[in-house]
Amino acid sequence: MGRAVIFDLDGTLADTSGDLIAAANACFRAMGEGDQLDPARDAGTALRGGRAMLTLGFERLGKPVDDALLDRHYKPLLDHYETAIDAHTTFYPGALESVAGLRADGYKVAICTNKPEYLAQLLLTRMGVRDAFDALIGADTLHVRKPDPEPLREAARRAGGDPARAVLVGDTVTDRETARAAGVPSILVSFGPGGEDIHALAPEATIGHFDELAGVVRRFIG
């Protein structure tokens, strides 16, 4: 089995925050409330997922938040998101070129995301890039999700790579802890909404542009 580079999706390969916030605001409008989230100010919250967006919106409405409330509105939010999943989403500069270059150099490349698998598959297919990746693991593909290490390991295996000869490219503490639990290096990007905090997470490396990735990957796994 070969070397594997495993990527987080939201906030790492692509800025999906605009479509996520649009879905959350559509959900709040359907409740009879106005838009609660701002695409610029709340991008970081959006990239933490649907429940984080709902929690923030309900807090701004002054409503007590519990799991039952979030569960009730989570599926409608996902439905709104599915209808316009690629309206505003863009890949970060150099992301797809970097993935293609790594693949051409013999690395296996895969995605390991906490986005539900069907939505991750749909997004990549709509944007015409699903075939750029050897495998995809979503939040619900296995019985566990990041920061459990098994989704990372399974992404490497399904891509045809060796889980022990992998790196995880991400943007959050979840990615850092996933890599740590799997015993592999983490490379965190500094250009996402949470970029100013990543150095405090003490990853093995950080990058400010995808042009830097290949050299860092070679340093860790050859």
Known catalytic residues? 8
Q: How far apart are CA 166 and CA 5, in angstroms?
A: 6
Q: How far apart are CA 118 and CA 103, in angstroms?
A: 24
Nearest to 42 by CA among 59, 19, 17: 17
CA distances from 189 to 7, 13, 168, 201 (A): 11, 9, 11, 12
The length of the chain in residues reads 222
Q: Which residues contact 131 (CB under 8 A, 6 or more apart)?
A: none
Q: How far apart are CA 29 and CA 22, in angstroms?
A: 10
Q: At what angle do helices 117-126 and 67-83 cross, to 10 degrees?
A: 20
CA distances from 96 to 30, 58, 152, 174 (A): 36, 36, 20, 23
Max distance between CA atoms of the chain, in angstroms, equals 55
